[in-house]
Amino acid sequence: MKIVKILGFLFLGIALVSFTLNFDFDKITDDEISNVVMAYYVPEKEYAPENLPLEQLTHIIFSFTNVIDGEMKFRHDENGEKLKQLVAQREHHPKLKVMIACGGWGADGFSDMAHTEENRRRFVESVIAFNTKYDLDGLDIDWEYPAIPAAKTGARPEDKQNFTLLMKELREGLSTLEREQTLTFASAGWERYYNNVEIKEVMKHVDYMNVMTYDQIGSTSPFTGHHTALGFIELEHIQDTPAWDFLESRKEEMKKRGYTFKPRSVERIVGYCIENGVEPKQIVIGAAFYGRAWKGVPPRNNGLYQENSGSHIGWSGYSQIRKEFEANKNYQRYWDPIAKAPYLYSAKDSIFISYDDTVSVRLKTEYALKNKLGGIMFWQLGNDTKEESSLLKSMFDASIKGK
């Protein structure tokens, strides 16, 4: 989801900055929040809706429902009661929009559901019934991905056109509800995705596109890197590293497959989407409330763009990173000024960790504001620290007008 020629990234010596402000949250209104701050939320027994920092959000997206027998349903019935508990919090936070997400990584059924007019009608009717039953404020479609059989999900070339039809018909259906509905979809942070959607047409029917600018490099990557970078990274920024050597060795193979490697980042994909006709105000960029770690990483360049011996942790929530790694004297925090992203490296343990921290999520939020984007979202709320100086608090503070 980085320094010219010489990749000697300067450690800025920035201790984690909390940016805490003395606000009376009961007095904060949506009018004072200058962009969308949207959280995906997976219910947890230890993190009930009444304990969530909902005053710092404009939208919360309960995750997930699935396409089951052609309809939108919970896979586990008990989630219905948990969703009701979340919706009940609007009594205390009347400006909050409570939405439902359908899909997620590895979720199947979309291609078959969207393939015919009859199937789409059945699905839309189920969405209308679902959102009416739970008194929701909207829907997020997380189809990963149209026409791409990721995680062995069903896919067909016609998904490209059928996705447009699905979003159009969802908008028409949701518009019949008495309660105003927000319609969004989760999009990828890499260009190939947009070859398989009619993006200008789709955007006519939705409020926001939630760009998943995380997982930009996976745990199985043969080299380390940033999984959720903000800054525009060029190939020249990784020259003279093992990452560059690996990519050079695969250049011909990639060419045969019609693929060109481009380092991924928020700035790259936002620029690409705007060039292809997406209105900035409809783009919501993503932050990661989790990190990825590799083991067996040599100390050259403080571990960045180096070979590794595999995943140390496929992912770990920010709360775990702060407690176990940021606080560990064997780990040093580095700042990459090109990627505008932090990372942790332990020469003792040979472990490299890519993640977002309070500094980087504030920069992402400020980037969204400066460029008049729709706002910022993140996966997912339960991964944040429960301390006052949380990732969400850093986003929220940056989103308040005049701060």
Q: Where are the domains of the chain?
A: 25-237+262-290+357-399
Average pLDDT (27-39) is 72
Q: Which residues pair with 208 in a beta bridge?
A: 184
Q: Residues 113-123: what's their mean pLDDT?
A: 98
Residue 313 has pLDDT above 80, yes or no: yes
Q: What's the pLDDT score for residue 152? A: 95
Residues 208-234 have a mean pLDDT of 97
**Cα 56 from Cα 73, distance rounded (Å):** 29
**Predicted local confidence at residue 403, as pLDDT:** 52
Judged against a pLDDT cut of 80, whether residue 116 lies above it is answered with: yes
How far, CA to CA in Å, does 155 sit from each of 67, 115, 151?
14, 10, 11
Give the angle 107-110-116 at the CA atoms, nearest 5°: 165
Q: Which of 205, 197, 215, 213 is nearest to 146 (CA)?
A: 197
Measure the CA angle with vertex 201, ends 124 and 155; round to 5°: 60
Tell me the two tokens of residue 291. 């990190």
Which of the pair, 229 or 44, is modelled with greater confidence? 229
User: Is pLDDT at 144 greater than 80 in this prediction?
Assistant: yes
Mean pLDDT (whole number) for 130-149:
98
Using a cut of 0.85, tell me whether the model's pTM lies above it.
Answer: yes
pLDDT category at 25 given cuts 50, 70, 90 is: very low
Instruction: Say if residue 205's pLDDT is above 50.
Output: yes
Of 170-174, 202-206, 312-316, the one with minimum mean pLDDT is: 312-316
Q: What is the mean pLDDT of residues 18-29?
A: 38
User: Over 90: is that where the pLDDT of 187 sits?
Assistant: yes
Average pLDDT, the chain: 92
Q: Stretch 72-77: mean pLDDT, rounded?
A: 96
Query: What pLDDT score was predicted for residue 383?
Result: 98
Per-residue pLDDT band for 401 (boundaries 50, 70, 90) equals low
Fold type of domain 25-237+262-290+357-399:
TIM Barrel (3.20.20)
Q: What residues contact residue 278 under an 8 Å CB cut-off, 6+ apart?
A: 199, 200, 203, 209
The residues that are catalytic are 144
